[in-house]
Amino acid sequence: MTGAAAEPAVVDAPGGTNHTPGAGRIAAAFGRARAAGRAALIPYVVAGYPDAETSLAIALAAADAGADLLEVGLPYSDPLADGATLQRASAVALRAGATFDRSVELVGRIAAARPDLPIVPMAYANQVIGGGDGSEVAGRLAEAGAAGVIVADLTPDEGSPFEAVASAVGLAVVYLVAPTTPPERRALVAGRTGGFLYCVSLVGVTGARAALPRSVGRLVGEVTAVSPVPVAVGFGVSRPVHVRAIVEAGAGGVIVASALVDALGPDGRDIDAMAALVRDLAAATALP
């Protein structure tokens, strides 16, 4: 660290991945939902939870219950942005033998089964980049049919090298903004994200909440105003009433994760209950 520490928050060349084919597929999905008078619904499933086969069934059920895009979480040993539900699901999946190879296989099978559904895996930086530049992981995800990737602990500040390798294989790198992101930084992050901008609804980790913070409406409005791409809101979103509030605030999409895992029940196999929740949430996505 040098004396001149206070550098601009977001660094490196402009760039980003919004020009990639993956970003194009994501944008098209948001566009289709919008044309249908809805915000996009993005359910999240944990690859390999509770086991490989069941997770494929869960993914397809979620897709068919009203998903416009699908987020596939790659289980990780140290998911520090995740709350209790996703920590547990991750641990169960890993114990059940989840590996990167199997996750890629899962993405491939979902993509083959639902070719129009953009799939966006979500992972942690060490799974994607680790000690290298992430080109191998990006290549394999793209090859399996993923449209983009979300890295929970990667920000544009460290993201340039990975954006470059992701771009090379047509993959969008989706960044997040949070309530703690200062206004001037939001625009910079929005300028670098690919396909859509992930807006974290609350200050905290993932996990279903009874209520979202009251400030979420204003946050969504402000973020939407500075974002050149659709804004999807996640973290804590678990009920139709949350979805309606977020859509009313102007979001282009909503992301639901922990609530769906909770709906699967303790053994992770109650696919019907999960699908029912997806349908309820989808019904709440109508644009005002």
Partner 1 sequence: MTVDARTRRTSRTGRNVLDEIAARRRADVRSLAVSLTSLIGTAVDAIAATPPPRPVVERLAAPGLHLIAELKRRSPSAGAIATDGDDLVARARAYEAGGAAAISVLVEPHWFGGSIDDLRAVRAAVSVPVLAKEFVVDALQLPLLRAAGADVVLLLAALHRPKELGRLVEQALRIGLEPLVEAHDEREVRAAVATDARLIGLNNRDLRTLEVDTERAVRLRPLVPDDRLVVAESGVRDAATIAAWRAAGFDAALVGETLVRAPDPAAAARSFVAAGAHPGDLANRANEALVKICGIVDADGAGAAVRAGADAIGLNLVPGTPRALPAEEATALARLVREIAPADRRPRIVLVTVDRTTDDINALARAIGADAIQLSGDEPVSVLDGLVRPAWKALHLPAEGVAAPTATGAAAADEISARARAWLAAGAERILLDTAGGPHPGGTGVRAAVDLAAAVARDVPVVLAGGLTPATVGPALREIPAVGVDVASGVERLGPRKDGERPRKDPLRLALFAKRARAARTDRPNLAVRPAPIAPGLLEADARGRWGTAREFGGRYVPETLMAALEQLERAYADLRNDPRFWAELRTLLERYAGRPTPLYRADHLAELALAAARTLATAAGRPDVVPARLRLYLKREDLAHTGAHKINNALGQALLTRRLGKTRVIAETGAGQHGVATATACALLGLPCVVYMGAEDIERQQPNVLRMRALGAEVRSVTSGTATLKDAINDAMRDWVTNVETTHYVLGSAMGPHPYPTIVRDLQRRIGDEAAVQVQADEGRLPDLVLACVGGGSNAIGLLDRFIGEPSVRLAVAEAAGDGIATGRHAAALAGGSPGILHGARSLMLQDRDGQVLEAHSASAGLDYPGVGPQISALYAAGRLEIAAATDADAFAAMQDVTRAEGILPALETAHAFAVLPRFLAGFEGSGAPLPAETVVLVGLSGRGDKDLASFGRWRDAHPEAAE
Taking alpha carbons only, the member of 146, 152, 155, 85 closest to residue 121 is 146
Examine the residue annotation and report whether 82 is marked as an active-site residue of this protein.
yes
Compute how many residues bind partner 1; rule: CB under 8 A: 50
Task: Provide the token pair at 241.
Answer: 């009433």
Among 61, 69, 106, 129, binds partner 1 (CB under 8 A): 129
x/- mask, partner 1, residues 183-222, rule CB under 8 A, reads --x---x----------x--xxx-----------------
Q: Which of 7, 51, 71, 157 is catalytic?
A: 71
* CA–CA distance, 195 with 231 (Å, rounded to integer): 9
**Shortest spacing between CB 59 and partner 1, in angstroms:** 20
Nearer Cβ to partner 1 (127/167): 127
CB 166 within 8 A of CB 187: no
Q: Residue 135 or residue 155: which is nearer to partner 1 going by CB?
A: 155
Please report where in the chains the tokens 């979420």 appear, as a residue. 216
Contact set for partner 1, span 135-164 (CB under 8 A):
152-155, 157-158
Residue of 259, 256, 260, 258 whose CA lies nearest to 274: 260
Cα–Cα distances (Å) from 133 to 28, 56, 159, 163, in that order, read 28, 29, 10, 9
Give the DSSP letter of residue 48. T
| Binding flags for partner 1, 2-41, as an x/- string (CB under 8 A) | xxxxxx-x-x------------------------------
Q: Given the DSSP bridges, would you call strands 253-256 and 119-123 parallel, antiparallel or unpaired? A: unpaired
From residue 30, give the alpha-carbon distance in Å to each of 36, 222, 230, 251: 10, 19, 7, 11
Binding residue for partner 1, selected from 119, 177, 187, 260, defined by CB under 8 A: 177
3 state SS of 175: coil
Nearer to partner 1, 85 or 238 (CB): 85
Tell me whether residue 40 or residue 47 sits nearer to partner 1 (CB atom).
47
Q: Which residues sit at the interface with partner 1, rule CB under 8 A?
A: 1-7, 9, 11, 76-81, 83, 87, 91, 94, 99-100, 124-132, 152-155, 157-158, 175-182, 185, 189, 200, 203-205
Any idea which residues carry the catalytic annotation? 71, 82
